[in-house]
A and B are shown apart, each in its own frame.
Chain A
């Protein structure tokens, strides 16, 4: 993460004017975490998600005012909603009859499939959807409790309770002894 820090107000003002250098700073401050979150959420093309999210951000940047922390929450909130929409569209497509031609799996998709099969992801999949989302935003996106609450439109105490239950369940699973 390349935090902008104290210069954020000036960078935001310049970005609102359309300055490319300012957008470069905003983009690089969250792009990798955003791609990681999209990947963890099963997006087939995480880079495309980053581009689409930042287009949404650019369209609405003039209606935003706040700190860098709020900006991160705002960006990840947009990403979260967009990923839910994509997931719904994919679910609908899965219900449709499959095409007869054979699709060649891209290297990136294969890599994502491997990533999703990792032990950390397998442990994550034992949790509820909301617990998974909260822990992903806390770890991969490196957001604070308040930032997660703002991104998911939840109360901070609800986020704390969710992550507490998630960590408790996760610890229980991780410390489970292997039975023969």
Chain B
């Protein structure tokens, strides 16, 4: 008995050569020195687990398996066995990088297009079929972009202003002259007096007719 209560410490056990392990576990290789216990154990395990499928069972299996395989859809291009975990991770990284690059480019391009079209549309200089949709989009987000209707109204306003300028006569308000107002009152007075004079004369005429 050792000082470790009958057990040899794991630290005391040697590190095995992988080839030695392969040879000890394998069924057709010679037993390497120092691995006799493992080789013997592996042989015992194979014997304990040995199982042979009965011939009748095997025949039945093979018939049904062949029928299943014949009915199975044929793959257009056979692929290799399932990829390893490392390969799957690599593919995922490549795909994610590719898609992130594409999305970044599309996003940047759309921002650039929106900036350019927005800038030009803000001035209202685009053709009406282009200006109206862009203005509608921006107006829904609270911007005030001119549409073709707005520009027509502005044109109409401009025309009316021009017409007013042309047709409306330029009038000048006469400056009130105190002398003129006296003259007018004098004139009115004189007219009235004239009428009175006329009436008197008419009455005179009537009297004359009688």
B-binding residues in A (CB < 8 A): 15-20, 23-24, 27-28, 31-32, 35-40, 46-47, 50-51, 54-55, 57-66, 70, 73-74, 77, 115, 118-121, 123-124, 135-136, 138-140, 142, 144-145, 150, 153, 155, 160, 163-164, 167-172, 174-177, 179
Are A62 and B78 within 8 A (Cβ)? yes
**Cβ contacts under 8 Å, B8 to chain A:** 172, 175-176
Q: How far is the CA of A62 from the CA of B74 in the complex (A)?
A: 6
Are A65 and B79 within 8 A (Cβ)? yes
**Cβ contacts under 8 Å, A135 to chain B:** 25, 42, 45
Are B69 and A155 within 8 A (Cβ)? no
Are B41 and A118 within 8 A (Cβ)? no
Given A18-B70, A163-B25, A175-B37, A66 and B85 touching (CB < 8 A)?
A: no
Distance between A81 CB and nearest chain B CB, rounded to angstroms: 11
Which of B1, B18, B45, B67 has a CB less than 8 Å from the CB of A160? Answer: B18
Given A54-B65, A140-B45, A176-B7, A61 and B72 touching (CB < 8 A)?
A: yes
Q: How far is the CA of A140 from the CA of B24 in the complex (A)?
A: 13
Are B72 and A167 within 8 A (Cβ)? no
Are B48 and A27 within 8 A (Cβ)? no
Given A28-B58, A145-B22, A20 and B81 touching (CB < 8 A)?
A: no
Distance between A132 CB and nearest chain B CB, rounded to angstroms: 10
Q: Interface readout for B41-53 with A: 1 if CB under 8 Å, 0 if not?
A: 1101111111111
Are B81 and A66 within 8 A (Cβ)? yes
**Which of B6, B46, B54, B85 has the most chain A CB within a 10 Å cutoff?**
B46
